[in-house]
Chain A
Amino acid sequence: MYADLLHSLPEVLGLANFFAVVIGVIAGIVVGAMPGLSATMAISVLVPFTFGLEPLVALGLMAGIYNGAMYGGAIPAVLLRIPGTPAAVATTFDGFPMAQKGEGGFALQVAVVSSAIGGIASAFALMLLAPPLSQVTLLFGPAEVFWVAVFGLCSIVFLLGGSPIKGLISACFGVFVSVVGSDPIYGADRFTFGQLELLDGISIVILLVGLYALPPVIDLLEMPLKAEALTGSKLGTESIWRALPRMRRFWKTWLRSSLIGIWIGILPGAGGSMAAFMSYNEARRASSTPETWGNGEPEGVAASETANNADTASALIPALTLGIPGTAVAAVMLGGLLVHGLQPGPMLFRENPDVVFGFMWQFLFGAILLIFLGGSLATNSFARLLKLPRPLLGSVIIVLMVIGVYSIHGRMFDVYLMLGFGAVGYVMDKLKFPLPPVVLGLILGAFAEENLRLALRIGRGDWTTLFANTTSLVLVALTLAVILGPTVKRRFFRARDTGKEN
């Protein structure tokens, strides 16, 4: 099982594949350093450009961006108290006070080393856990695959937090979009309204770019950020190797936060921000000097940054094995895999071991490269990015979005469709409808339908075939647990609180 992991290493170390990770990490740090831009958005914009690339080059870029952006978010979080990505919110708690005390350079060095450690731990978790989990899914038939899809959708809707009604609306919308086009079995047109462009269905890339790239661009133009807090002077960082001995005392935090980040990453629906908050709280609780936290405690930066990078690769464990992404970025990456004809699941490990295991190595190298590419000299340069005029940046991203989507099939219809999804995405974003269920609905909808119909055909139209074996029943039970769990938990805590009050 793990032999393939070693066999894939030489290919990853090839010039093009390795260079892709380097470029990805740099691009990721740049994107993460810009408040308002996120790894999800960057990968969404990137996916259409990767069509013509070798899968490992494309995946290397994505892995690099993901790792880089998670660290990049710390730069404005420390310097401006504005998190570059949502996952960097907890970094502001101690990072900004450190910058105010003239320790901004050290705060960023702690952030980069902690991010790298979190990323390395996460990559190892992916390497160790994904292959055996993929073997389990080999036992699945069409009915089980259908239930896996239902379980995946329900997990992301109900565990994501927020309103389950809005989550369900998002999921229904995603599944509905997945059925547009020709019926997979009878070939009947569904909701194409005579448009030949819709016969093959709606490309996930169009949906991704619209949903994830347009709303942040509108936000960029709506509220141009003035980076007045940042002075033009250098941060005054010393060599990262000289700063390392001062960080040795964080080893327990690095370990604890890595485990928290990996666990949160595996859970569908949770994300980097939850990992960072949980890890920050746990580290403060374990600290012998909790009173210094919030006033510029470097360990706080270490806790937050380790955890938000530790959920990167681990979010791909359920995504690569079951097709259920742990985070929004993982959902977008799943789309990136699909455009290269790589269907997540056990067959991915059997048919494309070089690609899937190579992807895991790329995550590891991306994390290690963070230290070299995000070191003191680079950090000074990345900090200057905050001065880029945001309206100009917004206009360039719009052009890239149009180019990316147009290049898929060379037709303007896709661009209009993307803008339509963008408008829908903007409204959903503002009204707090979660976006990951839409993407997952599109990915799993067609998959679920195909397997449902296949299962019904095998069972000659008998619906009980969906509940005919133990695996299906276990999956149904898990789905019910995911749906009812949060409500039961809420009621339990409410009853306990009421009991205490009485």
Chain B
Amino acid sequence: MPESPLSRLCRPESLTAIVIIAAAAAFLVPTAALRPISALLPAAMLVGLMVLSLVLLVSDQRKAAAGEAAEPMAAAPKRVIGAFLLIFGYAISVDFVGFYASTAVAIPLVAYAFGFRNLLGLVVATLIVVSAIYLVFDFAMSLGFPSGRLWRS
């Protein structure tokens, strides 16, 4: 059955091309305020991105029209989304709650969520990693880690 025009545009490559065109167009606006010589390279790159993405979009749409199925981006999309959420959540937590507390939770949480269910192994691994980080980076290299914005305010 032929794809609907909307679903055709939702093919990963087409969607990516559309996002690039939109982003490049948005970034092109501030170049108007720059001196021509300062705007030369960025504007050239942005216009280049738009033109090339348009070519990519047209070529992908042709493939769609010819009935060629789009390759899925991930074998297990839920796991990918979960991984991204956990990683971004960890970064936000480091920023707001602090590095050590977030790391002590994130290591076992990520490992457990993605299939490593040995509780003793999780505890031992977390202890080893967090202690090693403290000894190497905090103690030996005097590298300060975020203590958490929440506690500062």
The proximity string for B residues 65-98 relative to A, scoring 1 for CB distances below 8 Å and 0 otherwise, is 0000000011110011011100110110011000
Known contacts A218-B84, A389-B111, A392-B116; decide if A165 and B52 are in contact (CB<8 Å).
Answer: yes
Tell me the complex Cα distance, A190–B111, Å: 41
A449 to B38, CA, bound (A): 9
Are A431 and B13 within 8 A (Cβ)?
yes
Chain B contact-residue range equals 35 or more
Assess whether B94 is in contact with A392, with CB atoms less than 8 Å apart: no
Interface residues of B in 91-121 (CB under 8 A from A): 91, 94-95, 103, 106-116, 118, 121
B115 contacts A186, C-beta separation under 8 Å:
no
Tell me which residues from 440 to 479 in chain A have a Cβ below 8 Å from any Cβ of chain B.
Answer: 445, 448-449, 452-453, 456
**B133 contacts across to A, CB distance below 8 A:** 399, 403
In the complex, are the beta carbons of A391 and B87 less than 8 A apart? Answer: no
CB distance from B63 to the nearest CB of A (A): 12
What CA separation (Å) do A169 and B19 show in the bound complex? 13
Say yes or no: A412-B87 contact (C-beta < 8 A), given A222-B75, A223-B76.
no
Q: Does A402 contact B (CB under 8 A)?
A: yes
* Chain B positions 32 through 48: 1 when the CB is less than 8 Å from some CB of chain A, otherwise 0: 00110110011001101
Main secondary structure of the interface of A (DSSP, over half): helix
Inside 8 A of A256's CB, which chain B residues have their CB? none
Q: Is the CB of A165 within 8 A of B107?
A: no
A389 with B79: CB separation less than 8 A: no
B49 contacts partner chain A, Cβ-Cβ < 8 Å: yes
In the assembled complex, how far is the CB of residue A318 from the closest CB belonging to chain B, in whole angstroms? 23
Partner of A402, one of B34, B76, B90: B90
Q: Are B83 and A218 in contact, CB atoms less than 8 angstroms apart? A: yes
Partner of A172, one of B52, B95, B125: B52
Q: Are B41 and A445 in contact (CB under 8 A)?
A: yes
Q: How far is the CB of B23 from chain A (nearest CB, A)?
A: 10
Indicate if the CB atoms of B115 and A391 lie closer than 8 Å. Answer: yes
Q: A398 touching B90 by the CB < 8 A rule?
A: yes
**Centre residue among B16, B112, B141 by max chain A CB count within 10 A:** B16
Query: Taking CB as reference atom, which chain B residue is nearest A433?
Result: B16
Closest beta carbon of chain A to B92's beta carbon, Å: 9
- Chain B proximity of A306: nearest CB distance (Å): 34
Are B107 and A399 in contact (CB-based, < 8 A)? Answer: yes
Tell me, yes or no, whether B22 is within 8 Å of chain A by CB: no
Chain B residues with CB under 8 Å of A456's CB are 37
In the complex where A172-B49, A218-B83, A221-B79 touch, is A190 in contact with B116 (Cβ < 8 A)? no
Closest to B17 in A: A169
A residues near B137, Cβ cutoff 8 Å: 403, 407
Complex interface bits, A416-457 against B, C-beta within 8 A gives 1, otherwise 0:
100100110011001100000000000001001100110010
Query: Which A residues touch B118, using CB under 8 A?
Result: 389
Question: Taking A172-B52, A392-B121, A430-B12 as contacts, is the C-beta distance between A399 and B106 under 8 angstroms?
Answer: yes
- Residues from chain A with a CB closer than 8 A to the CB of B121 are 389, 392
CB contacts (< 8 Å) of B80 on chain A: these are 218, 221-222, 426
Known: A389-B111, A430-B74. A188 touches B35 (CB 8 A): yes
Complex contacts, B107 vs chain A, CB 8 Å? 392, 395-396, 399
The A-B contact count (CB < 8 A) is 157
CA A33 to CA B13, docked complex, whole Å: 33
CA distance A183 to B87 in the complex (A): 34
Question: B31's closest neighbor in chain A, by CB?
Answer: A190
Q: Does A52 contact B (CB under 8 A)?
A: yes
**A431 lies within 8 A of B12 (CB):** yes
B103 CB contacts on chain A under 8 angstroms: 399
Shortest distance in angstroms between B5's beta carbon and chain A's nearest beta carbon? 21
Docked Cα-Cα span, A449 to B16, in Å, equals 28
Which chain B positions have C-beta within 8 A of A407? 137, 143
Residue picked from A221, A403, A430, most chain B C-beta under 10 Å? A221
Which 6 pairs across A and B sit closest by C-beta, in order of nearness?
A391-B114, A395-B110, A389-B116, A392-B111, A221-B83, A176-B45
Q: List 24 contacting pairs A-B, 8 Å CB cutoff, sorted by A.
A: A168-B48, A169-B49, A172-B52, A173-B49, A176-B49, A185-B37, A190-B42, A218-B83, A222-B80, A223-B76, A392-B107, A392-B121, A394-B114, A399-B106, A402-B94, A403-B143, A406-B145, A406-B146, A412-B146, A415-B91, A426-B84, A427-B73, A431-B12, A452-B41
User: Measuring CB to CB, which residues of chain B are less than 8 angstroms from any residue of chain A?
Assistant: 12-13, 16, 20, 27, 30, 34-35, 37-38, 41-42, 45-46, 48-49, 52-53, 55-56, 59, 73-76, 79-80, 82-84, 87-88, 90-91, 94-95, 103, 106-116, 118, 121-122, 125, 129, 133, 137, 141, 143-146
Q: What residues make up the interface of A, taking CB atoms closer than 8 Å to B?
A: 52, 165-166, 168-169, 172-173, 175-176, 179, 183, 185-186, 188, 190-191, 214, 217-218, 221-224, 389-392, 394-396, 398-399, 402-403, 406-407, 410, 412, 415-416, 419, 422-423, 426-427, 430-431, 445, 448-449, 452-453, 456
Q: A392-B125, A395-B106 are in contact. List 14 more A-B contacts (CB 8 A).
A: A169-B53, A175-B41, A176-B46, A185-B37, A186-B35, A190-B38, A221-B110, A389-B116, A389-B118, A399-B103, A407-B137, A426-B80, A431-B16, A453-B37
